[in-house]
């Protein structure tokens, strides 16, 4: 019995010693994830990184740092084409054709345009919709880098979209992939 009490006390002590407050865990996780990104770019002084609702690194203006961002930029690798024979244009066509956005939002609208960027063939997709009574807008750039397709996305409420669109363009212009 005495050894059980000592063991229980030891386990509790170790559990308390390993406790890291939630905010500090998030900061550690954010820093770790930033260090493992396969890209880098320069953010305007008024922007900062954060972990989005999916636990992925995204970026938003410091001014809008509330829990649910109303302005955010996200870059992610969305598909590896290593062993596939799918072109970027086929991928975009399939993605748009199979989109389920209209099931979740109202007044969904999109436009697609093929453009050239420093990454070559790039698809610009502009979307707008109403979700939970709020008008939202998304601008995404889809491009291929080596054997992967990336999405660089700017999400905002419709009322703030034009306010930060130049930051979105600036950040993309400073995007570099680590080799």
Question: Which SS3 state, helix, strand or coil, does residue 32 take?
Answer: helix
Token duo for residue 18 = 């390993």
Give the residue with greater pLDDT, 91 vs 9.
Answer: 91
Closest CA to 101 of 110, 114, 91, 92: 110
Give the residue with greater pLDDT, 52 vs 79.
Answer: 52
Backbone angles phi, psi at 69, to 5 degrees: -65, 145
List the domains of the chain with CATH numbers.
1-36 (no CATH), 38-177 (3.40.1000.10)
pLDDT of 173: 96
Cα–Cα distance, 172 to 146 (Å, whole number): 18
State pTM to two decimals: 0.80
Q: Cβ(92)–Cβ(112) under 8 Å? A: yes
Q: How far apart are the first and last CA of the chain?
A: 59
- The set of residues, in sequence order, having a beta carbon less than 8 Å from that of 46 and lying 6+ positions away, is 61, 62, 63, 167
Residue 28: which pLDDT band, with cuts at 50, 70 and 90?
low
């Amino acid at each position: 019995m005495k050894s059980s009490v000592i063991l229980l006390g030891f386990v509790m002590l170790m559990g308390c010693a390993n406790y890291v407050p939630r905010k500090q865990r998030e900061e550690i996780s954010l820093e770790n994830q930033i260090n493992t990104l396969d890209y880098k770019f320069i953010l305007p002084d008024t922007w900062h990184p954060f972990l989005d609702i999916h636990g992925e690194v995204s970026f938003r203006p410091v001014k809008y740092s509330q829990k649910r961002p109303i302005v955010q930029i996200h870059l992610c690798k969305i598909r590896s084409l290593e062993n596939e024979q799918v072109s970027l244009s086929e991928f975009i066509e399939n993605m748009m054709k199979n989109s389920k956005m209209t099931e979740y939002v109202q007044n969904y609208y999109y436009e697609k345009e093929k453009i050239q960027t420093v990454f070559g063939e790039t698809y610009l997709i502009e979307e707008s919709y109403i979700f939970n009574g709020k008008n939202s807008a998304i601008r995404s750039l889809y491009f291929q880098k080596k054997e992967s397709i990336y999405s660089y996305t700017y999400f905002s409420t419709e009322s703030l979209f034009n306010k930060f669109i130049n930051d979105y363009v600036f950040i993309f212009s400073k995007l570099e992939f680590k080799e």
